[in-house]
Structure 1
């Protein structure tokens, strides 16, 4: 896997912002993926044609209504002082902490981390909430975040 050093990542401030600091022992597990590798992951896991979630085609699995079982609010938890993800998300993604996850902003912008790190610092990832999709390696469960403060809970087909 080829990565970009976090220091060179164009949105690194979302992980180093003083209002939501991430300790160094977690920062080392937040790995921006190179554009070439990100594009490959996106094409294999999300869409062969569309560069971002806003332009998915009707043939892309996220556009199929049958993939999504529920939609819950994430914005209230994001605004709250408590760090936890909404309970509905934790119940939907009953993953071990060491599961590798991909937070997919768009075709050329994907972050790899561990489920434990994402759970702890999810608010940082959602400084940009323009339709990112969270996938787990070899997992069918998926999340699709929306700018309107909701997240779809579903399964990849």
Structure 2
């Protein structure tokens, strides 16, 4: 599946990757690739939901809404607020993807960013400036992470 990307400097949420307190290297920025609306929609429809356009709408038939999809729940907010750049430990231990694994951080149907696992790990706090139910997935892997506004996240497997 080939996608069209929006240049990062034209991305409407680009400020999250230009924040002075959470600097992103130019090397990493080269791998932070927002998809255009059509590309975002294709990823969302294929791997998240072809019924719902955001996390608040997930319902019957959407794998993220299935209780058995999620195995563990933990907190991300305290790690996000800390000076430590590391991912929350449970999050980091659960995902065993290769560094260059393509991942999609899916905010909603028309807002998806393609990046690499190692780039996400280094810059996860930037991605989480928007925490209204995004999901982290990798097309080749079953593990998924669901981020919630209440400061928690869920680890599981996508359907």
TM-score for the superposition, normalised by structure 1: 0.98
Aligned equivalent of 2:103: 101
Shift of 1:96: 1.0
Q: Per the alignment, in what secondary structure is the counterpart of residue 88 of structure 1?
A: helix
Kindly indicate whether residue 144 of structure 2 is the aligned counterpart of residue 138 of structure 1.
Answer: no
How far did residue 12 of structure 1 move?
0.2
1:46 aligned residue = 48
What CA distance in whole angstroms lies between the structure 1 residues aligned with 2:90 and 2:19? 27
Cα separation, 1, equivalents of 2:137 and 2:25: 24
Instruction: Give a deviation string over 1:6-43, Cα, whole Å, max 9, x none.
Output: 01101000000111111111111100001001101101
State the alpha-carbon separation in 2 of the partners of residues 48 and 114 from structure 1: 24
Q: Could you list the runs of 5+ residues in structure 1 that have no partner in the other structure?
A: none
Matching residue within 13, 16, 20 for 2:15: 13
Residue in structure 1 matching 2:35, options 33, 36, 43: 33
Q: What is the DSSP-based 3-state SS (H/G/I as helix, E as strand, rest coil) of the residue aligned with 1:71? A: strand
Query: 1:53: how far off?
Result: 0.6
1:57 shift after superposition: 1.6
Offset at residue 137 of structure 1 (A): 2.2
The answer to whether structure 1 residue 147 and structure 2 residue 155 are counterparts is no
Instruction: Tell me the C-alpha RMSD between the 2 structures.
Output: 0.6
- Which runs of structure 1 show a deviation greater than 2 angstroms over 4 or more consecutive aligned residues? none
Tell me the secondary structure at the aligned position of residue 4 of structure 1. coil
For residues 99 and 139 of structure 2, the distance between their equivalents in structure 1, rounded to whole angstroms, comes to 12
SS at match of 2:144: strand
**Local SS of the residue matching 1:70:** strand
Distance 1:57 1:36 in 2: 23
Partner residue, 1:77: 79
